[in-house]
């Protein structure tokens, strides 16, 4: 790309060229290793003497911004010597600022990869069926998707909606036809659409405590007053719901992050509560495909006979979060509003990915992939429990659960271990683990760890937990 240099006619031309090239390197508009035009060519383009450009190049070269390669030309220097790229834009003008609610939304922490990575979130990318996926995406790109821009239904790719309705009916007994399914960019967009359509500023939204921070924060940005409701061994404590809750967000299959399933009694109680109080229940079934023991309980959606439940799902755990595919199934009368919200938000998402996923499901490849990866995650789950019992049996008590890609473990009663300090010491030895407290809103007192196994190889688990135990220090 040709770099634009503006000469004003005022001041020394060499300095003007020098300054603008320097800015371009600092801003990373010119990237390390990029070749600059030869001095003669740039001089001609700018209508200046060749020497004017050559002097500017020499100065930049002596300062490390450029490097000359004999017989080959002049290139942008090494980024490490130049430093980090600076932001290119000026701060926003006076009187313009984000809505105050955005100041209360913390950034999602992201750390580099560590060898013993027990963080919660993504599945193992090494298990993703890359070759099959490449074939399916290529087929989509060759076929109708790119040549048929008329297919812009906001509810998503019709083939995927049909495949999902069948898949959910068979694997989760969710009651849905093709027309009931709305494909979204991950579960997060499904929650966003629900917020747009159902939350008035000031409405009460109840979430689990501890719970899923991105949901809590999202509802806050829609102007909701969000209240955390405690979770016990049977799931959300329905009796503790604030009476004015308009929307209740729950993860009944595998409570996030504790891992307990919601009991049938609680499910029924929650549906009754929602009916009595005129509330909507958002059921986030984010990782129910992975179940290592027992039969899954019926989703709230299939127990509900009174139009109280919006069912949300995601492929971020079974496939990859970066694909950004999720979906929702709502009561029929909410569909037009949700569909319009989807259209106004991003029209219909990426139809190539959606089409590929439709074939992945229809060809039975999703079911096969889940069977295969389930075995691997079950083995990791067992190995973590065994290693915790061996190395930390007296200090951490796992919360019983047999599903998903993570488990939680509470600090033994009476323990004085500081888990933030433990996590920090563990990090120094290559172990990444999260504290339960980071999943709490207004009641931060929960002491424990959340241990994910999407990012750690089976063979590394023993050593990782061993190192974690060392970070606790000697038993008191």
Ligand X SMILES: Cc1ncc(COP(=O)(O)O)c(C=O)c1O
Q: Which residues bind ligand X (CB under 6 A)?
A: 121, 186-188, 212, 251, 256, 284, 286, 314, 316, 321, 326
- Taking the least distance from each CB to ligand X, the nearer of 261 and 326 is 326
- Taking the least distance from each CB to ligand X, the nearer of 245 and 288 is 288
The phi-psi region of residue 270 (left if phi > 0; otherwise alpha if psi is between -120 and 50; otherwise beta) is alpha
> What is the strand order of the sheet 396-398 is part of?
396-398, 406-411, 448-452, 434-435
- Taking the least distance from each CB to ligand X, the nearer of 57 and 212 is 212
- Taking the least distance from each CB to ligand X, the nearer of 284 and 359 is 284
Cα dist from 50 to 39, 41, 44, 172, 300, whole Å: 6, 8, 8, 73, 75
Q: How far apart are CB 68 and ligand X at their closest, in Å?
A: 48
- Taking the least distance from each CB to ligand X, the nearer of 216 and 391 is 216
Adjacent-strand bridge partners of 204: 225, 245
User: Using CB atoms, what's the residue nearest to ligand X?
Assistant: 186
Q: Element (H or E) spanning 431, and its range?
A: strand 431-432
Q: How far apart are CB 406 and ligand X at their closest, in Å?
A: 8
Planar angle of CA 78, 23, 61, nearest 5 degrees = 45
Cα 165 to Cα 293: distance, rounded to the nearest angstrom = 25
Q: How far apart are CB 455 and ligand X at their closest, in Å?
A: 12
Q: How far apart are CB 97 and ligand X at their closest, in Å?
A: 28
Planar angle of CA 383, 387, 388, nearest 5 degrees = 115
Instruction: For CA atoms 422, 428, 433, 436, give the dihedral sign.
Output: positive
Q: How far apart are CB 314 and ligand X at their closest, in Å?
A: 3
- Taking the least distance from each CB to ligand X, the nearer of 39 and 253 is 253
DSSP symbol at 8: -
Q: How far apart are CB 188 and ligand X at their closest, in Å?
A: 3
Planar angle of CA 204, 338, 235, nearest 5 degrees = 45
């Amino acid at each position: 790309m040709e770099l634009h240099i503006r000469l004003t006619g005022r001041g020394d031309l060499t300095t003007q060229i020098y300054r603008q090239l320097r800015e371009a390197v600092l801003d990373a508009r010119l990237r390390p290793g990029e070749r600059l035009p030869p001095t003669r060519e740039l001089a001609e383009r700018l209508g200046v003497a060749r020497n004017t450009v050559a002097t500017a190049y020499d100065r930049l070269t002596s300062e490390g911004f450029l490097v000359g390669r004999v017989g080959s030309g002049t290139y942008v220097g090494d980024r490490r010597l130049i430093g980090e790229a600076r932001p290119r834009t000026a701060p926003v003008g006076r009187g313009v600022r984000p809505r105050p609610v955005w100041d209360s939304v913390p950034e999602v922490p992201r750390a580099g990869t560590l060898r013993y990575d027990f963080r919660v979130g993504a599945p193992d990318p090494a298990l993703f069926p890359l070759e099959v996926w490449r074939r399916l995406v290529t087929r989509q790109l060759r076929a109708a998707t790119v040549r048929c821009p008329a297919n812009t239904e906001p509810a998503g790719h019709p083939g995927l909606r049909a495949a999902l309705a069948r898949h959910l009916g068979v694997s989760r007994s969710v009651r849905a036809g093709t027309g009931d399914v709305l494909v979204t960019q991950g579960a997060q967009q499904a929650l966003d659409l629900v917020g747009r359509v159902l939350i008035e500023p000031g409405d009460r939204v109840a979430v689990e405590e501890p719970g899923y921070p991105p949901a809590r924060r999202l509802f806050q940005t829609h102007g909701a007053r969000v209240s955390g409701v405690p979770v016990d061994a049977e799931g959300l404590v329905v009796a503790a719901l604030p009476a004015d809750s308009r929307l209740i967000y729950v993860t009944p299959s595998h409570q996030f992050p504790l891992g307990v399933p919601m009991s049938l009694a609680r499910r029924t109680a929650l549906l009754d509560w929602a009916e009595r109080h005129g509330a909507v229940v958002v059921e986030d079934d984010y990782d129910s495909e992975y179940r290592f023991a027992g039969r899954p309980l019926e989703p709230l959606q299939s127990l509900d006979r009174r139009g109280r439940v919006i069912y949300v799902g995601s492929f971020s755990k079974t496939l990859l979060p970066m694909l950004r595919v999720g979906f929702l199934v709502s009561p029929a009368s909410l569909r037009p509003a949700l569909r319009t919200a989807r259209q106004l938000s991003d029209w219909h998402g990426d139809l190539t990915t959606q089409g590929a996923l439709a074939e992945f499901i229809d060809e039975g490849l999703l079911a096969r992939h889940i069977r295969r990866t389930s075995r691997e995650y079950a083995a990791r789950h067992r190995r973590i429990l065994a290693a915790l019992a061996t190395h930390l049996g007296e200090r951490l008590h796992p919360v019983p659960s047999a599903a998903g890609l993570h488990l939680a473990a509470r600090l033994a009663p009476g323990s004085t271990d500081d888990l933030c300090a433990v996590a920090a010491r563990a990090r120094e030895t290559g172990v990444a683990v999260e504290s339960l407290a980071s999943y709490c809103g207004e009641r931060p007192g929960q002491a424990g760890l959340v241990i994910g196994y999407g990012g750690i190889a089976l063979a590394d688990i023993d050593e990782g937990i061993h190192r974690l135990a060392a970070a606790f220090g000697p038993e008191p």
